[in-house]
């Protein structure tokens, strides 16, 4: 082994010296004239010598135990390398001295600079080096032939052993004894393997149908083209009957067989259950870490437990996490040894044990260094025997193997540095080509490639990749000089690998690299000099390459918004904002020179106007007008495809403040759908950033158009409407905040605006407050959200919503309407197949729909209509008695109806949660008959209960009662992870400072 390492080191040193010789000889050509032919021969021979050394270094590169060569390492070859290094070093010093001595800009004759003695010395050294190169070349050819014979012999042995191999993994003795070797990636796959699978479970059986396209016919990794299969499988015993059709090349085959399978029920498999338990244990540990989080530290910015101040606290967390994975390892090993599970088990959706384990391990990336041994042991266990480490989840279009799954789960810059999963998975045979093929353009993958550059060794640009990763200016210039670099390769881009090394970036940009290839990587790495260099070289700022930067969706990224998403430092964002301003001014100046005045006037600009507003609203149209008139517009001036900057889906309040301060003031313009930025952010509302941006728009005076029906808008803004009832939006100093604050200010006509509906659920049209109450959520959140909104609405009213008694009466009517199970006939889309705790009702009978069908529905509910009117009459009567203590009355009324008129459902996911009454009196004490056979209200019992309950509901009792509707611990954690939830508490009065 020591001799082999000596050869590798000698070849690497000789490679560097030969590069110096080539660069020095090339430099002399630029400075001298009348150069003798020996120097030209020297250049060509040195280039060939460098190629030979590259091949030798590549063959010896990598783990020694993975070499397939049978190399006779002798003292003779070491001596050859030593002599060649000595001669090359002397020659390099001689040529470099000649080059440095002639610094004049005038090209002088060779004979005037180089004496006869030096010329003879150069020629003699060239001959000796050429002789050594020939000897080295003969030795390498001999060893290559020997290596090929060795490979052929090993393949024959493996073939014989494979025919007798036991398919059952042996778990006796040291685990991993039969670990498969990590295989090098073959030639890069140029196609997109894809697959899909569907299944239906009936009486313990699974009916399945799958389709898989493995590789295209021209792909170097192709096995077959496309196969379809369908059948039925039983999970106990694990056996399946399948019929399949396979189409590959020019052949078509049909197969039918009865065979065992590895599909399991994840809820019953002890291996999958063990991984789920480990996931829950880590989540619990993370919650306890969050409780120790220093004030002001957002958990979305740091990976736990790195934000813990105490070293002892971090150590305890590491020990607990290690214990969790140790337990998981033991449980998996016991499950495999007992035969209750096997490493190759997978669920019907394609997920394997290794996929699930990767997801769990990605939860604690910052602990991977301390957990390396146990993580490695678990992966070794999960790929034992015949388990496929490259099994894919058959997502449509992009099947995902475990390594690709790991790259999707680890995206933060700090996480990529701490992550050990990639190293472990590659070590145990996971194929890297899929991650490189599908995700090589994504910024976070660049960090993994720099850390594991051997992943690229089968890429035809590997020497260039290595030169950039090693930050070797000499090697990079040499490869460019030899025209061995493809500057347009995207898997990955050389320019993205050079981010952080401005010298290399400048070299590649001068050679013609596209700055767009690296700008997102520069932002992701937060390297200001690289970003500035790329932008100054004409990098586009909008509609950059696609990537799944958030929520798993593939999107085109705009530099400035990607910077807020990462998030980048304020210096980076400030630079990008400044560049956007400069380019918009440049675009406007170009338009002023090239476009006729009538065209400019129609777009809101005037050539004679001294001070122009920053180009935003019509920037895209101006760009298109210039192109239509054949004006050469630099691609860097492309303004993006959104109507204004504020219409972008990633806009935040912080970025909006910056843009507004520098002069972008088009915050009320509407796009092609008639939506303003405020409308867009409320309609999306998938993070708290959307709410904060909506708050900023409202502070700047934006609102919905007065002509728009507020209820219709809320019908479309599903996520926003649900967010209003998802929490108790009251601060400690009793102010409304968050979505509820936005809801109260969004429409100029307020939250009591009524539409033209004629459903029995309201007296004179639906209100926005009613839309929030009836809006559907999902799963077990349905009753919780509804209770939160219903019981807190009286408090919301006197804190700012200012609802009238008529509105409260309509809310009461709507809630009783739904509790009675009546059918909505509203014109809102939410009423189409309107779900009330498991019951579905057809709706949407507004406009030109059949009036006869509407009348039929109302006829069916006619007897319920009488009960509805009776409840409302009772409510109004009791309201007159208890109006002076309205909040106490409102709470007592709904406590009564929770008992006397509960929601009826058999759906276990939509059951109403029982109220915690504590010191509040129980309505059952007022129900003597204990009978609920009629839909009509129990007037005497309800009246008696309210007379007893309302006086008991003092301020402290009400506060204690309402506390049960606050966020649970798990809900709060979910809210905090959604985005900057704590930031919603800022500027709750709506008069926040817009300064940075």
Q: 117: which 2 tokens?
A: 């003695």
Per-residue pLDDT tens over the stretch 975-990: 665 555 555 554 444 4
Q: 387: which 2 tokens?
A: 């388990």
For 150-164, 408-422, 641-655, which range has the lowest pLDDT when averaged over its residues?
A: 150-164
Full DSSP string of 345-398: -B-TTS-BHHHHHHHHHGGGGGGHHHHHHHHHHHHHHHT-TT--TT--B--SS-
Q: Which of 668, 689, 720 is the last residue of a domain?
A: 668
What backbone phi and psi angles, to 5 degrees, belong to 747? -110, 135
Q: Give the C-alpha separation, 786 to 792, whole Å.
A: 10
Q: What is the CATH number of the domain that holds 63?
A: 1.20.120
Is residue 705 scored above 60 in pLDDT? yes
pLDDT bracket for residue 758 (50, 70, 90): confident
The H or E element that residue 211 is part of is strand 205-213
pLDDT bracket for residue 645 (50, 70, 90): very high
Domain co-membership, 125 together with 248: no
pLDDT bracket for residue 324 (50, 70, 90): very high
For 206-210, 428-432, 827-831, which range has the lowest pLDDT when averaged over its residues?
A: 827-831
Q: Give the C-alpha separation, 942 to 930, whole Å.
A: 13
Mean pLDDT on 13-21: 67
Q: How many domains does the chain have?
A: 4
Please report whether residue 285 resides in a domain: no
Q: Give the C-alpha separation, 761 to 801, whole Å.
A: 22
Domain co-membership, 585 together with 724: no
Q: Is 288 helix (H, G, I), strand (E, B) or coil?
A: helix
Q: How far is CA 298 from CA 233, 291, 549, 686, 956, in A?
A: 48, 12, 20, 18, 33
Q: 19: which 2 tokens?
A: 């590069």
Full DSSP string of 11-32: HHHHHHHHHHHHHHHHHHHHHE
Per-residue pLDDT tens over the stretch 900-944: 888 776 555 455 667 777 766 777 777 666 666 678 888 988 999
pLDDT for the residue numbered 654: 92
Adjacent-strand bridge partners of 246: 227, 253
Please report whether residue 452 resides in a domain: no
pLDDT bracket for residue 350 (50, 70, 90): confident
Handedness of CA 440, 442, 443, 444 (dihedral sign): negative
Q: Which of 260, 290, 307 is the last residue of a domain?
A: 260
Q: How far is CA 781 from CA 51, 428, 962, in A?
A: 66, 42, 17
Give the residue, 608 or 690, on which the prediction is more confident. Answer: 690
Domain co-membership, 841 together with 789: yes
CB 995 within 8 A of CB 702: no
CB 827 within 8 A of CB 757: yes
pLDDT for the residue numbered 988: 45
Closest CA to 816 of 939, 900, 917, 702: 900
Closest CA to 305 of 383, 380, 363: 363
Give the residue, 668 or 421, on which the prediction is more confident. Answer: 668
The burial class, CB within 10 Å (0-12 / 13-18 / 19+), for 832 is middle
Domain co-membership, 105 together with 217: no
Give the residue, 860 or 800, on which the prediction is more confident. Answer: 800
Please report whether residue 33 resides in a domain: yes
Q: Give the C-alpha separation, 116 to 118, whole Å.
A: 6
Please report whether residue 779 resides in a domain: yes
Per-residue pLDDT tens over the stretch 120-163: 777 777 877 777 777 777 777 666 666 666 555 556 555 544 44
Would you call the peptide bond into 394 cis, given omega within 30 degrees of 0 as the criterion? no
pLDDT for the residue numbered 777: 46
pLDDT for the residue numbered 823: 83
pLDDT bracket for residue 313 (50, 70, 90): low
Q: Give the C-alpha separation, 988 to 996, whole Å.
A: 17
pLDDT bracket for residue 438 (50, 70, 90): low
Please report whether residue 735 resides in a domain: yes
Per-residue pLDDT tens over the stretch 621-638: 999 999 999 999 999 999
Handedness of CA 442, 448, 453, 456 (dihedral sign): negative
CB 403 within 8 A of CB 355: no
Domain co-membership, 813 together with 945: yes
Q: Among 33-37, 390-394, 724-728, 964-968, which range has the highest average pLDDT?
A: 724-728
Q: 191: which 2 tokens?
A: 């196609």
Q: 308: which 2 tokens?
A: 């813990």
The H or E element that residue 83 is part of is helix 75-101
pLDDT for the residue numbered 247: 57
Domain co-membership, 659 together with 728: no
Handedness of CA 408, 413, 418, 422 (dihedral sign): positive
CB 946 within 8 A of CB 954: no
Q: Give the C-alpha separation, 232 to 199, whole Å.
A: 9
Please report whether residue 914 resides in a domain: yes
Domain co-membership, 792 together with 938: yes
Domain co-membership, 92 together with 8: yes
Please name the residues in contact with 518: beta carbons below 8 A apart, sequence gap of 6 or more.
493, 495, 496, 498, 499, 505, 530, 534
Per-residue pLDDT tens over the stretch 511-540: 999 999 999 999 988 999 999 999 999 999
Q: How far is CA 921 from CA 812, 952, 992, in A?
A: 22, 8, 43
Mean pLDDT on 546-570: 71
Adjacent-strand bridge partners of 210: 197, 229
- Please report where in the chains the tokens 């490189």 appear, as a residue: 436
Closest CA to 50 of 70, 32, 74, 26: 26
Domain co-membership, 64 together with 15: yes
Q: Give the C-alpha separation, 457 to 455, whole Å.
A: 6
**Widest distance between CA atoms in the chain:** 125
pLDDT for the residue numbered 76: 59
Domain co-membership, 847 together with 737: yes
Is residue 85 scored above 80 in pLDDT? no
Q: How far is CA 343 from CA 179, 384, 590, in A?
A: 13, 6, 65
**Torsion, Cα of 243, 248, 253, 258 (10° steps):** -30
> For the whole prediction, is pTM greater than 0.75?
no
Closest CA to 182 of 400, 2, 422: 422
Please report whether residue 312 resides in a domain: no
Q: Give the C-alpha separation, 617 to 587, whole Å.
A: 13
Per-residue pLDDT tens over the stretch 214-262: 554 455 545 445 666 676 666 555 555 556 665 554 455 555 655 555 6
Please report whether residue 17 resides in a domain: yes
CB 489 within 8 A of CB 441: no
Domain co-membership, 722 together with 660: no
CB 903 within 8 A of CB 912: yes
pLDDT bracket for residue 64 (50, 70, 90): very low
pLDDT for the residue numbered 573: 94
Q: Give the C-alpha separation, 902 to 816, whole Å.
A: 9
Which residues span the domain enclosing 714? 706-965
Domain co-membership, 58 together with 198: no
pLDDT for the residue numbered 567: 84
Tallying the residues shown for the chain, one arrives at: 996
Q: How far is CA 516 from CA 503, 512, 520, 531, 541, in A?
A: 17, 12, 8, 11, 8
Q: Which of 668, 692, 724 is the last residue of a domain?
A: 668
pLDDT for the residue numbered 821: 85
Residues of the chain with pLDDT > 70, as a percent, come to: 63
Cα end-to-end span (Å), the chain: 61
């Amino acid at each position: 082994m020591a001799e082999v390492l000596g050869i590798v080191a000698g070849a690497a040193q000789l490679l560097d010296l030969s590069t110096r010789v080539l660069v020095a000889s090339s430099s002399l050509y630029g400075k001298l004239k009348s150069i003798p032919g020996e120097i030209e021969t020297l250049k060509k021979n040195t280039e060939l010598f460098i190629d030979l050394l590259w091949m030798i270094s590549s063959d010896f590169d990598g783990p020694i135990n993975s070499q397939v060569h049978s190399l006779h390492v002798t003292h003779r070859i070491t001596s050859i390398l030593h002599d060649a290094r000595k001669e090359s070093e002397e020659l390099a010093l001689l040529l470099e001295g000649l080059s440095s001595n002639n610094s004049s800009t005038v090209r002088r004759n060779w004979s005037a600079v180089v004496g006869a003695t030096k010329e003879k010395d150069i020629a003699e050294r060239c001959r000796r080096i050429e002789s050594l190169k020939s000897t080295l070349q003969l030795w390498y050819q001999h060893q290559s032939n020997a290596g090929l014979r060795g490979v052929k012999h090993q393949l024959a042995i493996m073939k014989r052993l494979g025919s007798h191999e036991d398919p059952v993994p042996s778990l006796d003795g040291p685990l991993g004894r039969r670990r498969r070797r990590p295989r090098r990636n073959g030639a890069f796959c140029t196609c997109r393997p894809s697959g899909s699978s569907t299944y239906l479970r009936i009486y313990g059986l699974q009916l399945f149908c799958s389709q898989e396209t493995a590789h295209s016919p021209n792909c170097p990794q192709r096995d077959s083209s496309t196969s379809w299969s369908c059948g039925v499988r039983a999970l106990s015993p694990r056996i399946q009957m399948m019929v399949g059709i396979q189409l590959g090349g020019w052949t078509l085959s049909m197969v039918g067989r009865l065979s065992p399978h590895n599909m399991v029920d994840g809820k019953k498999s002890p291996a999958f259950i063990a991984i789920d338990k480990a996931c829950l244990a880590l989540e619990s540990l993370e919650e306890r870490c969050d409780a120790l989080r220093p004030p002001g530290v957002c958990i979305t910015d740091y990976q736990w437990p790195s934000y813990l101040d105490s070293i002892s606290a971090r150590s305890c967390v590491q020990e607990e996490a290690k214990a969790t994975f140790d337990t998981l390892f033991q449980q998996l090993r016991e499950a495999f040894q007992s035969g209750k599970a096997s490493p190759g088990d997978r669920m019907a959706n394609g997920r394997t044990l290794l996929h699930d384990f990767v997801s769990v391990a990605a939860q604690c990336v910052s602990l991977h260094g301390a957990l390396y041994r146990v993580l490695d042991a678990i992966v070794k266990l999960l790929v034992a025997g015949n388990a496929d480490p490259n099994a894919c989840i058959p997502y449509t279009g992009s099947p995902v193997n475990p390594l690709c799954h790991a790259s999707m789960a680890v995206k933060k810059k700090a996480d990529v540095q701490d992550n050990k999963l990639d190293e472990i998975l590659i070590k145990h045979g996971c194929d890297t080509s899929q991650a490189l093929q599908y995700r090589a353009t994504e910024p976070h993958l660049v960090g993994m490639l720099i850390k594991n550059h051997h992943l690229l060794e089968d890429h035809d640009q590997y020497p260039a990749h290595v030169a950039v990763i090693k930050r070797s200016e000499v090697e990079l210039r040499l490869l460019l000089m030899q025209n061995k670099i493809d500057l347009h390769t995207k898997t990955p881009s050389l320019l993205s690998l050079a981010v952080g090394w401005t010298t290399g970036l400048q070299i590649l940009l001068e050679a013609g690299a596209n700055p767009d290839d690296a700008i997102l990587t520069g932002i992701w790495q937060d390297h200001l000099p690289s970003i500035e260099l790329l932008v100054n070289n004409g990098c586009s700022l909008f509609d950059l390459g696609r990537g799944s930067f958030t929520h798993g969706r593939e999107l085109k990224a705009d530099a400035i918004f990607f910077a807020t998403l990462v998030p980048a430092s304020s210096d980076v964002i400030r630079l990008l904002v400044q560049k956007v301003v400069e380019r918009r001014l440049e675009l406007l100046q170009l338009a002023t020179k090239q476009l006729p005045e009538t065209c400019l006037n129609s777009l809101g600009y005037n050539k004679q106007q001294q001070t122009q507003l920053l180009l935003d609203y019509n920037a895209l149209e101006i760009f298109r007008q210039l192109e239509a008139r054949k004006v050469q517009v630099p691609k860097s001036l492309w303004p993006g495809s959104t109507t204004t900057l504020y219409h972008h889906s990633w806009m935040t309040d912080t970025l909006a403040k910056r843009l507004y301060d520098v002069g972008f003031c088009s915050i009320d313009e509407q796009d092609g759908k008639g939506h303003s930025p405020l409308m867009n952010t409320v309609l999306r509302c998938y993070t708290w950033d959307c709410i904060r941006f909506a708050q900023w728009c409202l502070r700047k005076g934006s609102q919905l158009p007065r002509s728009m029906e507020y209820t219709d808008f809320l019908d479309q803004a599903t996520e926003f409407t649900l967010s209003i009832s998802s929490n108790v939006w009251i601060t400690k100093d009793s102010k409304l905040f968050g979505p509820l604050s936005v809801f109260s200010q969004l429409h100029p006509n307020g939250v009591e605006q009524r539409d033209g509906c004629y459903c029995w659920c309201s007296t004179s049209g639906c209100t926005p407050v009613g839309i929030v109450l009836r809006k559907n959520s999902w799963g077990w959140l349905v009753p919780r959200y509804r209770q939160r909104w219903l019981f807190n609405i009286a408090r919301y009213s006197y804190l700012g919503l200012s609802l009238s008694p008529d509105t409260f009466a309509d809310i009461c009517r709507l809630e009783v309407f739904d509790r009675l199970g009546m059918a909505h006939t509203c014109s809102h889309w939410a009423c189409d197949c309107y779900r009330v705790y498991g019951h579905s009702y057809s709706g949407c009978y507004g406009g030109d729909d059949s009036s006869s069908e509407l009348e039929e529905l109302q006829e069916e509910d006619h007897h319920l209509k009488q009960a509805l009117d009776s409840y409302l009459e009772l409510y109004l009567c009791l309201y007159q008695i208890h109006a002076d203590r309205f909040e106490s009355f409102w709470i007592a009324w709904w406590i009564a109806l929770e008992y006397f008129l509960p929601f009826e459902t058999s759906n276990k996911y939509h059951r109403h949660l029982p109220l915690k009454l504590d010191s509040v009196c129980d309505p059952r004490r007022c129900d003597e008959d204990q009978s609920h056979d009629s839909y009509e209200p129990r007037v005497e019992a309800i009246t008696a209960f309210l007379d007893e309950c309302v006086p008991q509901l003092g301020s402290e009792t009400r506060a204690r009662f309402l506390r049960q509707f606050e966020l649970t611990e798990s809900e709060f954690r979910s809210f905090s992870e959604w985005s900057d939830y704590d930031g919603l508490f800022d500027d709750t009065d709506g008069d926040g400072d817009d300064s940075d």
